[in-house]
Structure 1
Amino acid sequence: MTAPVVTSGGGEAPSEKIAMTAPVITTGAGAEPEPVAMTAPVITDGQQAPGKVTMQFLLPSKYAKAEEAPRPTDERVVIREVPERKFGVVRFSGVAADKTVREKAEGLRAALEKDGYTIKGPFVLARYNPPFTLPPLRTNEVMIPVE
């Protein structure tokens, strides 16, 4: 990716630009809603309000712990550690349109269940290229957490 993430040292250190990393992981806008057994809608990481997208960026490896990373300058950005998980993954090229992503997720889910894996949550979409990359050269992945 080409755009940097600008962070603030929060008074202790100067601001720092962090090169964007790949993949960019998104939930929402085409991602699978997590089923919730309630009558009112509940928003979770896997179930977004209509039109809302959550993006995850991986920090460079020099930050071994979340608390070592510089503080973001935008309050909407949250840095947190995510525990290690296992995923079933399907890779595809082209534009990651909602219909394509849903089809890939459905196919992957069916294959994982056929092979005896337990699905542990909704799928996420990982994109590896900047938006100006020609569609045939783009790399995308649909990832489903499994046990």
Structure 2
Amino acid sequence: MKLLLSTAAALLLSGCSVFGHSGVDDAPYTLITADDQQNIEVRRYDTMVLVSTSMSGDGRNSAFRKLFRYIGGENEGNSTIAMTAPVFMGEQAAAKGEKIAMTAPVLMTGTDTDAMMSFVMPKEFTLQSTPKPTNPDVKVSELTNYTVAAIQFSGTLSKRNVAKHSRLLQAWIAENGYTASSEPVEAGYNGPLTLPMLRKNEVLIELNIP
């Protein structure tokens, strides 16, 4: 499956801390190997439930607003979020009015015509327990056995920065005997007020590993 995370809007998910502490849980994964010198990891996400919408047409801001409204209550359970800085959304959403805790990162992938933005639901959620969106533009899906190489970097998710680190990651994948099976995916972890040098960004490339 190919994911596409937008750049600026993705950062709005995690919070407004100037110093980079968003208080948002990261999606859990198993570390397979790490190259600390290049800030690269090979990791496996066993299962992730994604809430996604297209970034084509009205763009990233519109996509972010649709997903944000979903976690704010535009779902069949009317589950809501706790508004703080950063944004938090409860822990389980089985009952009406229960809060949903968001998980980082926000994922963005695709081309201009098929670009998608995805929020990762908390680890407690399954495909069955995730509230159904009331907006038909918002979709819920499950991603399993998602094995990626990921490179971490600071600064912004500008096209230039993403392209640079995509090239570094692609070269590392080839040099270390792996085979890529997707285009680069952008991942943002911090809010727009976080100082650029303290931001955590990533580019992920799925690997063809049995």
CA deviations over 1:78-103 (Å, ceiling 9, x no partner) = 11101212111110001110011011
Unmatched runs of 5 consecutive residues or more in structure 2: 1-13, 16-67, 79-93
Are 1:54 and 2:116 matched, yes or no? yes
Contact 1:6–1:16 (8 Å) recurs in 2: no
TM-score w.r.t. structure 2 length? 0.54
Contact 1:9/1:15 (8 A) holds in 2: no
CA gap of 1:70–1:16, structure 2 versus 1, over 3 A, is farther
Corresponding residue for residue 19 of structure 1? 101
2:178 aligned partner, one-letter code? Y
2 CA distance for matches of 1:102 and 1:93? 14
**Aligned to 1:9, what secondary structure does the other structure show?**
coil
Matched, 1:86 2:86: no
- Which ranges in structure 1 are unaligned for 5 or more consecutive residues? 28-45
Q: CA deviation at 1:19?
A: 3.0
**Alpha-carbon distance in 1 for matches of 2:136, 2:99:** 17
In the alignment, what sits opposite 2:177?
Answer: 116
Whole-angstrom CA distance in 1 between matches of 2:152 and 2:159? 15
Deviation readout 1:91-122 (Å, 9 max, x if unpaired):
00011100110110011101111111111111
Q: 1:92–1:26: structure 2 CA closer, same or farther, 3 Å change rule?
A: same
Which structure is larger by alpha-carbon Rg, 1 or 2? 1
TM superposition outliers: structure 1 runs of 4+ over 6 Å:
none
Residues 1:140 and 1:86: Cα distance change in structure 2 (over 3 Å): same
Q: Percent identity?
A: 35
Residue 142 of structure 1 corresponds to which residue in structure 2? 203
Q: Deviations over 1:33-61 (max 9, x none)?
A: xxxxxxxxxxxxx3341xx6411111112
TM-score scaled to structure 1, two decimals? 0.75
